[in-house]
Amino acid sequence: MMFEVSNMSFALPEMFMLAMACVILLVTAFLGKKASSYAYGLSQLTMIVTAILIYQSVGENGGLTFDGTYIKDAFSDVLKLSICLMNIAVLLYSTHYLKTRNLYKGEYYVLAVFATLGMMIMVSAYHFLTLYLGLELMSLCLYSMVAMQRDSKVATEAAMKYFVLGALASGMLLYGMSIIYGITGSLDIATISVLLQASGWNDTVLSFGLVFLVIGIGFKLGAVPFHMWLPDVYHGAPTAMTLFIATTPKIAAFAMMIRILAEGLGDLHQHWQGMLIMLSVLSMIVGNVVAIAQTNLKRMLAYSTISHVGFILLGILSGSQEGYAASMFYALVYAVMSLGAFGMIILMSRQGFEADNIDDYKGLSERNPWYALMMLILMFSMAGIPPMVGFYAKLSVIKSVVDINLIAIAVVAVMMSVIGAFYYLRMIKVMYFDKPVHAHAIEAPADMRIFLSANALAVLALGLFPGSLMAVCAIVFS
């Protein structure tokens, strides 16, 4: 029996976060309008304490608990710690935006904590049902977040699109899981992996189930051709909600892909590799080419996200430990870069002004040289220009496909990186070479300015010294 009290400590961070989420929910319900500040403080406290609990257990012997449905390993420790630390910054960046738009409500923080709990469950799930429950907990919170600005038709429309397409993708994922269960008789990831090593399985039926699993995963990542929701949701949602959706859920979706494809269905690599090659190439091409035509910064970053997902898939489709480590490095780096980019939009916004058009950044170097420099660092990193960390992320995933002799895919990736550099460099041209159209001062509080500056400088520091994070990702898959 694997459900032992001694092993329940593996899930202590999740149990603490669940208890605190319920506390924040009760505070919000009973204190009404006064609850916002308490909810914010408690949610930040929850993230910090959870991060400490995870950090204290790093290096300890892991294993399975809850009858084999939950796993504690180095992979889960690193990703859960990253999720909690990034969400501390997400909540900090969001608060000023929410206050100026009458969205500063306890419900936002309740949803944020429950969504984070869902992400952590996804990362540590070792059973298809646990994985699905974590995914749905996260997704339902994100749908509600997008719809929080109820008087905005654009936000409501975005929420409806997200919900309907998300429900469809969840159904596809569940159908794929049911087919795998029908063949193997198990929903346990470790058991499925062992059973698939035996010969005699019907490859046609397995491939059929695999298609549905890849469709569900592709939607959650925003890969082409399952990307149709992503630009509309990023654009239509309030920027604070877009910031949340664009960062840590991508880490959780990456973890789900590793658990299902690499650990559960690794012996079917020759079947799912071809599917991921198509998703990867299409995502890089569509994301980078369509982003060039965008004038709205949030839509541009949405198509940029689609292209980055294509690069993340490169490492996974290689099927090697080095490739998985490269993809993990890229996913973490992308989340940090995206955190800074959407944080900059919030920083430049004020009441009645969203700062989500590219033209809003004209002459930023004259108005505020420091934040123009921070945005330059973030754009250079997303473009993959050395010495920013984005360059090493792209290099590592491209190397992983070269190592398995997929030279044509590597050439496409390099070409798309060059095309993608155009729209990032256009942002820099607008900031440094165009005349400002207005001269409004930045109104953000000091703590957000400090965190955002640290965020951008961290991108530069990781680029100058990428070895530590790369080594962590390599150790996780060693």
Going by pLDDT thresholds of 50, 70 and 90, the confidence category of residue 202 is low
Q: 62-66, 172-176, 203-207 — which one is most confidently predicted on average?
A: 172-176
Q: In whole angstroms, what is the distance from residue 225 CA to residue 227 CA?
A: 6
Q: pLDDT per residue over 275-332, tens digit each?
A: 999 999 999 999 999 999 999 999 999 999 999 999 999 999 998 899 999 999 999 9
How much is the pTM?
0.94
Angle formed at CA 225 by CA 222 and CA 229, multiple of 5 degrees = 50
Q: pLDDT per residue over 4-30, tens digit each?
A: 555 678 889 999 999 999 999 999 988
Give me the pLDDT at residue 5, please: 54
In the predicted model, what is the mean pLDDT of residues 386-396?
92
Domain count of the fold of the chain = 1
Q: pLDDT per residue over 208-262, tens digit each?
A: 889 999 999 999 899 998 888 999 999 999 999 999 999 999 999 999 999 999 9
Range of the domain at 397: 5-476
Q: pLDDT per residue over 353-367, tens digit each?
A: 788 888 888 888 888
Asked if the model's pLDDT at residue 194 lies above 90, the reply is: no
Asked if the model's pLDDT at residue 102 lies above 90, the reply is: no
343-359: b or e for each residue (b if 16 or more CB lie within 10 Å)?
A: bbbbbbbbeeebbbebe
* Mean pLDDT, rounded, of the chain: 90
Give me the pLDDT at residue 267, please: 84
Q: pLDDT per residue over 43-94, tens digit each?
A: 999 999 999 999 998 877 778 888 888 999 899 999 999 999 999 999 999 9
Q: In whole angstroms, what is the distance from residue 359 CA to residue 432 CA?
A: 12
Element (H, E) at 70: strand 70-72
Farthest-apart Cα atoms in the chain, separation: 70
Asked if the model's pLDDT at residue 2 lies above 60, the reply is: no
Give me the pLDDT at residue 4, please: 54
Angle formed at CA 215 by CA 112 and CA 397, multiple of 5 degrees = 80
Check: CB of residue 193 under 8 Å from CB of residue 269: no
Helices (H) and strands (E) in the chain, counts: 20, 2
- Residue listed under structure tokens 């992503």: 230
In the predicted model, what is the mean pLDDT of residues 400-429?
93
Among the listed residues 303, 297, 302, 308, the one whose alpha carbon sits nearest the alpha carbon of residue 332: 308
Beta pairing partners, 188: 127
Burial (CB < 10 A; 0-12, 13-18, 19+), residue 324, is buried
Going by pLDDT thresholds of 50, 70 and 90, the confidence category of residue 1 is very low
The set of residues, in sequence order, having a beta carbon less than 8 Å from that of 121 and lying 6+ positions away, is: 14, 130, 133, 134, 137
